[in-house]
Amino acid sequence: MSCKENYLRVLDVVSEDLKKAGRDESECTLVAVSKTKPLELLKEAYEAGCRDFGENYVQELVDKIPQMPEDIRWHMIGHLQTNKVKYLIGKTYLIHSVDTVKLAKEIGKQSEKAGIVTDILLEVNVAEEESKFGFTSENILDGVKEISEIPGVRVKGLMTSAPICENPEENRVYFQKLKQLSIDIKNQNIDNVSMGFLSMGMSGDYEVALSEGSTFVRVGTAIFGERDYSK
């Protein structure tokens, strides 16, 4: 199947699932994760109506942006090193993967320099996987409080990547946990912090994530096919 067909098929599943969950279609955005993929495929997805693209690597993102239409909302979803932040400022719709206070400080600093405010999500390693970045369920509240004081950034919600698993149902507990954390944080009424966004669900588990309240599903393989990292 072409990537256009894949995109439209996933979009259909997303809107059906939202309907089933009694949620409005506007409540969740399908982010097409195009890391490692050539521009031709991104353009195909764009022609099919996709306006939200997710990338993991700063260099790749910065290279792709000027070669694609201007009405795209670019999502940075990969681990971000503080020394790369300056290349990204002003170019993203949302940075999903803020995993330390230090990184938020650097985004704030560079944003202030550019005279803008950058919208961010905080990544939580709810499954406590050793290989993954992120706040823990235990330290996320302190992290949010500290980051809420930083000028130049605005916390809009939480993000997680659940483990790779055979049965997506196994990840339901992690999505529930992230949702609960966002409710707990919201109830603290912290200035400059909103919890309207929940970024969770990938190719293997986005339907489960949607049923647990996801507002951004990040789907790569199911749209663009397997990635080849050998090049």
Ligand X SMILES: *Cc1c(COP(=O)(O)O)cnc(C)c1O
Output the smallest distance, CB 26 to ligand X, in A: 21
Residues 6+ apart with CB under 8 A from 66: none
Output the smallest distance, CB 177 to ligand X, in A: 17
Structure tokens at 106: 């650097």
Among 77, 122, 144, 150, the residue binding ligand X under the rule CB under 6 A is 77
Output the smallest distance, CB 115 to ligand X, in A: 29
Fill in the per-residue mask, 104 to 143: x = in contact with ligand X (CB under 6 A), - = not in contact: ----------------------------------------
CA 108/CA 150 separation, integer angstroms = 6
Structure tokens at 204: 């293997």
172-194: b (≥16 Cβ within 10 Å) or e: bebbebbbebbeebeeeebeebe
Stretch that binds ligand X, among 109-117, 171-179, 196-204, 207-215 (CB under 6 A): 196-204
Output the smallest distance, CB 28 to ligand X, in A: 15
Residue 167 per-residue DSSP state: S
Output the smallest distance, CB 211 to ligand X, in A: 17
Output the smallest distance, CB 35 to ligand X, in A: 6
Residue facing ligand X at closest CB distance = 220
CA 185/CA 126 separation, integer angstroms = 15
* 218 binds ligand X per the rule CB under 6 A: yes
Among 34, 56, 137, 160, the residue binding ligand X under the rule CB under 6 A is 56
Among 78, 143, 152, 157, the residue binding ligand X under the rule CB under 6 A is 78
Q: Are the CB atoms for 81 and 63 separated by under 8 Å? A: no
Q: Are the CB atoms for 194 and 187 separated by under 8 Å? A: no
Q: Give the 3-state secondary structure of residue 156.
A: strand
Among 10, 28, 30, 33, the residue binding ligand X under the rule CB under 6 A is 33
CA 168/CA 82 separation, integer angstroms = 33
User: Which of 35/109 has CB closer to ligand X?
Assistant: 35
| Cα-to-chain-centroid distance, residue 19 | 22
